[in-house]
Amino acid sequence: MREFLSERSAKSRNLDDAIVCLGAGISCKDGTVVESTVDNRNLGPTGSAALTVDGTVQPLAHPWSATLTGASWAHLAGHGGYVFPGRATVRAGREERTGRWSDINKGSSTTPVSRRYLTLWADHGTNPSGAGCAYVLMPGVRPPTGPRPAPPTPAG
């Protein structure tokens, strides 16, 4: 059980080829929005990895954001897949972030470094009480193939 300020939650279990993440009892009482991060992926300077959700490729534009209602699976090219048992509403966003190593390490480079990120998350809203989420992370899986959308399959 993880507790941070007034937030309480319980999360993940590892399997051989997947990580099952179950959020239960997600609650907060201090007036803040609570989110469960599915992935916060550094895509490098160009950020061109395609995100496919239920067979539909999402825009590559930066910035970009969407609410993906009823998603059953997603795949991020070159990285892996995500399965949402029972379907889920997932938020997604692409953005460029810029910082300097000197911001966190005294004496380090002051040259700005920019990278593009893709973030997937479940939004539990403000002051959730007993909220939950379920998803499966599948690192390195290939995208599904065939005429109808299906969850990603393990590489092998």
Answer yes or no: is pLDDT of 127 > 60. Answer: yes
Domain extents in the chain:
2-139
More confident residue, 147 or 21: 21
Any idea what the Cα angle at residue 155 is, between residues 136 and 71, rounded to 5°? 35
Q: Can you give the pTM of this predicted structure?
A: 0.80
Peptide bond into 152 cis (omega under 30): no
Amino acid residing at 84: F
Q: Give residue 5's pLDDT.
A: 42
- Domain spanning 2-139, CATH class: mainly beta
Task: List all residues 6 or more positions away from 63 whose beta carbon is below 8 Å from its beta carbon.
Answer: 93, 94, 95, 96
Whether residue 73 contacts residue 144, with contact meaning beta carbons closer than 8 Å, is answered with yes
Share above pLDDT 90 across residues of the chain, in percent, rounded to a whole number: 74
More confident residue, 72 or 145: 72
Across 80-89, average pLDDT:
94
Answer yes or no: is pLDDT of 17 > 60. Answer: yes
- Give residue-wise pLDDT tens across range 28-66: 999 999 999 999 999 999 989 999 999 999 999 989 999
CA atoms 132, 134, 137, 143: torsion sign: negative
Answer yes or no: is pLDDT of 7 > 50. Answer: no
Q: Which of 49, 63, 56, 1 is nearest to 27 (CA)?
A: 1
Across 131-144, average pLDDT:
89
